[in-house]
Structure 1
């Protein structure tokens, strides 16, 4: 039997911002955690939805149609094809559920973009 994991504790232990790490997989999806602060980048995922679950702190997800404000315990699914930009004014811990094919910042590449190999590194 595997050991239980605490996504919140794993996310809190991360030292890099905006660098999601894979902590589990379920069928064709990865479960990821991240520590974030500031703004990521405007991007979209043309073929995949993206679930954000807030473990600690506050996250605003800006979209062309408006923004959604999320606090600890809240979740939101950004539908495929929707341009969005996650923003955390203060440090925020989050969990993501994404298909294994989801690119970190979609087709947009910035200094914060992480490859799948980076996201799969041991914690």
Structure 2
């Protein structure tokens, strides 16, 4: 993979909340997506998911509790834990799944 501007990459994606894999490594993926302020429904995975905010803010909901993840912060959602995104989340998000 060459040098990538993650914010520019996310802004160029055709739609929000639709991640694009930048690279695969080991058994995981390095994905980027654009958050546009709209909520995202509950989801659960059989793998851990690292949510790294590059720009903006992620308003995550875990076990019914609100968690705000700001630029430069990461939240790791353990495998099997339902999570959703509240309205107002906007910016660039990197997802690391393993």
Unaligned runs of 5+ in 2: none
Q: Which runs of 5+ in 1 are unaligned?
A: 100-123
Contact 1:36–1:88 under 8 Å retained in 2: no
SS in 2 for 1:18: coil
TM-score norm. by structure 1 comes to 0.71
**Equivalent pairs, count:** 97
Does the 8 Å CA contact 1:55/1:95 hold for their aligned counterparts? yes
> Match for residue 49 of structure 2?
50
Say if 1:33 and 1:93, in contact at 8 Å, map to a contact too: yes
Runs of 4+ more than 3 Å apart? none
Q: Separation in 1 of the partners of 2:57 and 2:83?
A: 16
- 1:86: which partner in 2? 85
For residue 43 of structure 2, give the secondary structure of its aligned residue in structure 1: coil
Q: TM-score, normalised by structure 2?
A: 0.87
Whole-angstrom CA distance in 2 between matches of 1:78 and 1:88:
19
Once the two structures are TM-superposed, the CA of residue 87 in structure 1 deviates from its matched residue by 2.7
**TM-align CA RMSD:** 1.6
Which structure is larger by alpha-carbon Rg, 1 or 2? 1
Q: Offset of 1:19 from its aligned partner?
A: 0.5
Question: Hey, what's the Cα distance between the residues in 1 that align with 2:13 and 2:44?
Answer: 25
Instruction: Assess, with a 3 A threshold, how the Cα gap between structure 1 residues 53 and 80 changes in structure 2: closer, same or farther.
Output: same
Q: Which has the higher strand share?
A: 2
1:20–1:35 Cα contact (<8 Å) kept: yes
DSSP 3-state at the match of 1:41: strand
The CA deviation at 1:68 is: 1.2
